[in-house]
Amino acid sequence: MAIQKVGVIGCGLMGSGIVQVAAQAGFDVRVREIDDAALAKGLARIDKFLQNGVDKGKLTAEQKAAVLGRIHGTTKLADLADCDLVVEAAIENIAAKHEVFAALDAACGPNAIFASNTSSLSITEMAAKTKRPSRFVGLHFFNPVPLMQLVEVVKTPMTDPAVFAEIEAFALKLPKVVVTAQDTPGFVVNRLLVPYLLDAIRVLESGVATKEDIDNGMKLGCGHPMGPLTLLDFVGLDTTYYIANIMFNEFKEPRFAPPPLLKRMVLAGWLGKKSGRGFYDYSAGAK
């Protein structure tokens, strides 16, 4: 069965990017958000991204209109009932994800494949709670989805190899470069990246250097495209905090524990670029 209709749960930072790349690759996409305001915000993000492409001459206004024409936003989960694949990109919280997949399990056909974009939660745990554990994978995209080439495709001990091959083929059509991984917290990239980001916060917290010097150090000394504190602002401090807690609970290693400063910034509502303030101030639009 070839995948034709793709459903996406959540039109936030990641969901909107997943919707966009799937629609650009020619798939018919349905995206579900919790309310009209969140849906409008997510769809506006896609429109803005595509318009930038038009302004830079990377695509025509007609191509943009065709991509938008393949995207159908909704607040009703039942509108995703006839999708061949549903990718979940909601909040990084296991209870919320179980709730989403239980509702999808009831709404979608038995052949539909489910995927989670989780960064750190167990795909096996999510799959085991559904009636289709063999048709469940991890599909971990990177931010910003339209620009980042990689996707990690994650298998559990229960994943049917034919389903895994179908999802790998889907990812290649987006087109993304695929890294395959077993279901472990953080898979490959976050297993290595998250301790590094948390260490950058610890370096700031302990007064070793300013945020600008920490970022410049890693940019200019290691050739990274951006420093760790800027990257944290892009990822979202709340998302990083959830991920760190989940990885710490699984591995029980201090290097995964969220530093106190991260927790306090999240409590203060300083979530990074998406809230207008994180390690840097974005209230004027730019950093």
Residues interacting with ligand NAD, by CB under 6 A?
A: 9-15, 32-34, 38, 89-92, 96, 100, 117-119, 140-143, 235-236, 239
| Active-site hit among 119, 120, 122, 275 | 119
**Strands 71-74 vs 28-32: parallel, antiparallel or unpaired:** parallel
Give the separation between CA 116 and CA 95, rounded to whole angstroms.
Answer: 13
**Is residue 76 packed enough to be buried (19+ CB in 10 Å), middle (13-18) or exposed (0-12)?**
exposed
Residue closer to ligand NAD (CB basis): 20 or 119: 119
Residue closer to ligand NAD by CB (options 105, 160) is: 105
The amino acid occupying position 97 is K
Least distance from ligand NAD to the Cβ atom of residue 203, Å: 21
Q: Which is nearer to ligand NAD, 63 or 184 (CB)?
A: 184
Cα distance between residue 80 and residue 114, in whole Å: 12
Of 116, 117, 120, 190, the active-site residue reads 190
Please tell me the distance from the alpha carbon of residue 67 to that of residue 169, in angstroms, as a whole number.
21
| Active-site residue, 119 included | yes
Provide the minimum distance between the beta carbon of 267 and ligand NAD in the complex, in angstroms, as a whole number: 16
DSSP structural state of residue 136: E
**Cβ distance to ligand NAD smaller for residue 13 or 67:** 13
The active-site residue out of 88, 116, 122, 140 is: 140
Strands 150-155 and 177-182: parallel
Distance CA(11)–CA(81), nearest Å, equals 18
* 62 noted as active-site residue: no
Residue nearest to ligand NAD (CB): 12
Q: Active-site residue 152, yes or no?
A: yes
In this structure, how many other beta carbons lie within 10 angstroms of the beta carbon of residue 92? Answer: 21
Which sequence positions are flagged as catalytic? Answer: 119, 140, 152, 190
